């Protein structure tokens, strides 16, 4: 039986396999949002690429179930230690394991960052500026919006106003609630996106059928994940995706350049993949963990950590969920969780008494997640919980997505504990600071106000966090950042980091689109530099110029879909 990806796509077969001692051009660690795009671009440009993935290579028909509990293995469930004054819940919506990474269980909200997000320090005196501007990234946003592709309104009024390549999705009950509440209060909102879920068929992927299991892994193939958007094309162009390969350390040569990656294969045996350059795309916890675990003579504090900032400036977004009970039916389970939002409070407003802002988005917990939220939000338990859950179809939920600033004390370190391979696990410390607390309080109140305005009879809220970025941030100054604006580490010329961990600040936008856009930009840079990456220590920071000929098929709306 062929390896199925969604309802209509199958994995190209056979996949190229490199021999044990083959020297490849790039070894990419982690095939998630960034890794998937990178491996596709580099393979298409003719490089020999191996991508290591700790988790399995999902066959969407065999491995995925449309069930909340049954989808638990999409997450990174290995041991991790969490701490700090406001510890993060790890192991669910903020990290993935398996080809496609977190993009197989993201809600696929795909807003762009605002131009102001790239100049947070200049404009608001907090956080840090990016080493690039919005306008450097904008063509990549536009390209990735077509590659995924993103469905949404033809006019998105915030930040740099733009439209979307696919039409908006119809609104579900909770989208109605958001739009109704916002309009009552005179707040602008958009309906039907931006979300990387197909509102019409695209190439060999069918349109969304609104069955509601987006974040349990979309078996339809309508939701974009790099597993179905970029990985098949990478394999067609000769890349190897090596699943069940848990990277343990990056190997450094005498001359200070890396020469490959040690990893544990499916049987737990340690293997070595030689490579002329290494890209780490393990996301905000595993990337710093791997680099810290790779400490060796000459790099006592971990690879690329001469600045001491590796693992620091970790960020999560405030993700408070506000739930409201309505007289009429809402049916939370229907339609994609992500399909309406307002970014009216995105930018800094001095009158609010804190820097930066937040977005208001629809969220759609299925019953198990909803029950957990109700335990936290209203202490529902026993009979009380049953009463609440009987009303599940009358509840609507909206989420705050608030920007938490990068702080040095929010960090990823190595713990004493070891995982099944004997590698020290990550210890994540997270504390909220004054600005963050004010922002969360304001955002929470505002969303509750919207919920009341929409006509809720009862409103409760649960504090939680969403997304993880930072911990290997990019910057111009090698003494305060880990990588430069193309993801190349300041310390080692052929070691790159490309994933959410290089974000210096995070805005109040879901990071998925930005991570993929950054990956495409890094890939263009690597392709432009060519062999210089492998043989030269010279750091050329000139802009690569965007390439439009490396996109997966169907990006230009050409070609007939295969009809099953």
User: Which residues form the interface with other proteins (CB under 8 A)?
Assistant: 7-8, 153-155, 163-168, 170-171, 175-180, 182-183, 189-192, 200-201, 206-207, 557, 560-561, 563-564
> 118 and 111 in contact (C-beta within 8 Å)?
no
How far apart are CB 200 and other proteins at their closest, in Å? 8
Q: What is the distance, to the nearest Å, from the Cα of residue 387 to the centroid of all Cα atoms in its chain?
A: 35
How far is residue 195's CA from residue 199's CA, in Å, rounded to a whole number?
9
Gap between the Cα atoms of 151 and 110, Å rounded:
9
Smaller CB separation from other proteins, 12 or 167: 167
Q: Which two tokens stand for residue 242?
A: 């090596």
Shortest distance (Å) from residue 453 CB to other proteins: 11
Shortest distance in whole angstroms from residue 563 CB to other proteins: 5
CB of 369 to other proteins, least distance (A): 24
d(CA 389, CA 371): 7
How does DSSP assign 167-184, residue by residue? PPPPP-HHHHHHHHHHHH
* Closest approach of other proteins to the CB of residue 376, in Å: 28
**DSSP state letters, 199-243:** SS-BTTBPPP---S-GGG--SSS-B--HHHHTHHHHHHTT-EEE-
430 or 554, CB closer to other proteins?
554
Please identify, using beta-carbon distances, which residue of 16 and 211 lies nearer to other proteins. 211
Comparing CB distances to other proteins, the nearer of 166 and 213 is: 166
Question: DSSP for 73-136?
Answer: GGB--S--EEESSSPPPPSSTT-B-STTGGGGTS--B-PPPPGGGGBHHHHHSSS-B-SS-HHH
Distance CA 178, CA 461 (A): 15
Residue 152 CA to residue 156 CA, distance in Å, equals 8
Closer residue to other proteins, CB minimum distance, 331 or 352: 331
- d(Cα 20, Cα 395) in Å, to the nearest integer? 55
Give the residue with the Cβ less far from other proteins, 168 or 336.
168
Nearer to other proteins, 44 or 339 (CB): 339
Q: Which is nearer to other proteins, 189 or 461 (CB)?
A: 189
How far is it, in rounded angstroms, from Cα 369 to Cα 498?
A: 31
CB of 396 to other proteins, least distance (A): 12
Least Å distance, CB 457 to other proteins, is 17
Q: How near is the Cβ of 11 to other proteins at its closest, in Å? A: 19
Q: Which of 465, 105, 104, 418 is nearest to 314 (CA)?
A: 465
Q: Are strands 424-429 and 81-83 parallel, antiparallel or unpaired?
A: parallel
Nearest distance from C-beta of residue 179 to other proteins, angstroms = 4
By beta-carbon proximity to other proteins, the closer residue of 340 and 440 is: 340
* Radius of gyration of the chain from its Cα atoms, rounded to whole angstroms: 22
Would you call 530 exposed, middle or buried from its count of C-beta atoms within 10 A (0-12, 13-18, 19+)? exposed
């Amino acid at each position: 039986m062929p390896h199925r990806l969604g309802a209509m796509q199958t994995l190209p077969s056979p996949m190229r396999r490199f021999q044990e001692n083959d020297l490849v051009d790039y070894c990419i660690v982690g095939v998630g949002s960034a890794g998937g795009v990178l491996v596709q671009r580099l393979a298409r440009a003719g490089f020999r690429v191996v991508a290591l993935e700790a988790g399995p290579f999902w066959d969407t028909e065999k491995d995925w179930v449309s069930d909340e509990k049954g989808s638990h293995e999409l997450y990174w469930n290995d041991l991790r230690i969490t701490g700090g004054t406001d510890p993060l819940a790890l192991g669910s919506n903020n990290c993935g394991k398996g080809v496609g990474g977190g993009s197989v269980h993201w809600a696929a909200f795909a807003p762009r960052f605002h131009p102001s997000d790239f100049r947070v320090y200049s404009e608001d005196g907090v956080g840090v500026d990016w080493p690039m501007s919005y306008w450097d990234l904008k063509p990549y946003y536009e390209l990735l919006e077509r590659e995924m592709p993103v469905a949404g309104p033809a006019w998105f009024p915030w930040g740099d106003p733009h439209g979307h390549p696919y039409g908006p999705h119809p609104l579900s009950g909770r989208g109605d609630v958001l739009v109704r509440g916002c309009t009552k209060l005179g707040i602008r909102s958009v309906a039907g996106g931006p979300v990387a879920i197909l509102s019409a068929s695209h190439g060999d992927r069918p349109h969304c059928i609104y069955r509601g299991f987006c974040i349990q892994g979309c078996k339809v193939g309508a939701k974009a994940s790099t597993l179905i958007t970029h990985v098949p094309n990478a394999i067609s162009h000769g890349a190897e995706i090596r699943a069940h390969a848990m990277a343990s350390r990056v190997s450094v040569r005498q001359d200070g350049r890396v020469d490959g990656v040690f990893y544990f294969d499916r049987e737990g045996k340690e293997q070595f993949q030689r490579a002329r350059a290494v890209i780490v795309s393990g996301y905000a916890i595993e990337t710093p963990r791997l680099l810290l675990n790779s400490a060796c003579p000459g790099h006592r504090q971990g690879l690329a950590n001469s600045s001491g900032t590796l693992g620091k400036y970790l960020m999560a977004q405030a993700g408070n969920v506000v739930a409201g009970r309505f007289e009429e039916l809402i049916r939370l389970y229907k339609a994609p969780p992500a399909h309406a939002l307002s970014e009216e409070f995105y930018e800094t407003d001095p009158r609010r008494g804190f820097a930066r802002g937040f977005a208001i988005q629809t969220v759609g917990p299925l019953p198990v997640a909803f029950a957990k939220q109700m335990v936290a939000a209203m202490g529902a338990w026993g009979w009380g919980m049953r009463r609440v859950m009987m009303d599940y179809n009358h509840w609507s939920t909206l989420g705050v997505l608030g920007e938490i600033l990068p702080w040095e004390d929010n960090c990823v370190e190595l713990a004493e504990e070891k995982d099944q391979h004997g590698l020290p696990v990550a210890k994540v410390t997270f504390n909220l600071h004054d600005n963050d607390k004010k922002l969360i309080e304001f955002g929470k109140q505002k969303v509750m106000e919207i919920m009341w305005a929409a006509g809720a009879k009862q409103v409760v809220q649960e504090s939680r966090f969403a997304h993880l970025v930072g911990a290997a941030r990019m910057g111009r100054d090698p003494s305060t950042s880990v990588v430069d604006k193309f993801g190349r580490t300041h310390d080692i010329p052929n070691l790159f980091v490309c994933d959410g961990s290089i974000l210096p600040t995070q805005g109040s936008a879901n990071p998925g689109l930005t991570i993929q856009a950054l990956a495409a930009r890094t890939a263009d840079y690597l392709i432009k530099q060519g062999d210089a990456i492998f043989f030269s220590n010279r750091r050329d920071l000139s802009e690569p110029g965007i390439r439009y000929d490396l996109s997966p098929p169907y990006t230009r709306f050409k070609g007939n879909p295969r009809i099953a």
